[in-house]
Structure 1
Amino acid sequence: MEPILTFEIPGNEEYRSLRAAAGLSVMSEQGAAMGLPASWSAVCVRLGDALIGMGRVVGDGGLFLFVVDIAVALTWQGKGLGRRIMQALMDDVHARAPARTMVALIADGTAHTLYAKFGFKLVAPGAHGMLLRLT
Structure 2
Amino acid sequence: MTRELPQGYQLVEGAPPVEAYLTLRRDSGLSPKTWEQAVAALPGSWYACHIVHTETGTAAGMGRIIGDGGWYFHIVDMAVLPDHQRRGLGDVVLTALLARIRQVAPPDAYINLLADAPGRRLYARHGFVDTAPVSLGMALKLG
- What range is the shorter-chain TM-score in? over 0.9
Kindly indicate whether structure 1 or structure 2 has the higher relative contact order, using CA contacts under 8 Å at least 6 residues apart. Answer: 2
Residue 88 (structure 2) pairs with residue 77 (structure 1): no
Structure 1 CA distance for aligned equivalents of residues 20 and 101 of structure 2: 24
For 1:12-46, what per-residue CA distance to the aligned partner results, in whole angstroms no more than 9, with x for missing partners?
11101111110110112212111101111111100
Ranges in structure 1 where 5+ consecutive residues have no aligned partner: none
* 1:108 corresponding residue in structure 2: 116
Ranges in structure 2 where 5+ consecutive residues have no aligned partner: 1-6
* 1:28 corresponding residue in structure 2: 34
Which range is displaced more, 108-117 or 52-61? 108-117
- TM-score of the pair, normalised by structure 1: 0.93
- TM-score of the pair, normalised by structure 2: 0.89
Residue 82 (structure 2) pairs with residue 93 (structure 1): no
Residue 51 of structure 1: how far off its partner (Å): 0.5
- Please give the root-mean-square deviation of Cα atoms over the aligned residues, in Å: 1.3
Identity percentage over the alignment?
A: 36
Match runs of 1:37-52 below 5 Å = 37-48=43-54, 49-52=57-60
Structure 2 CA distance for aligned equivalents of residues 131 and 28 of structure 1: 20
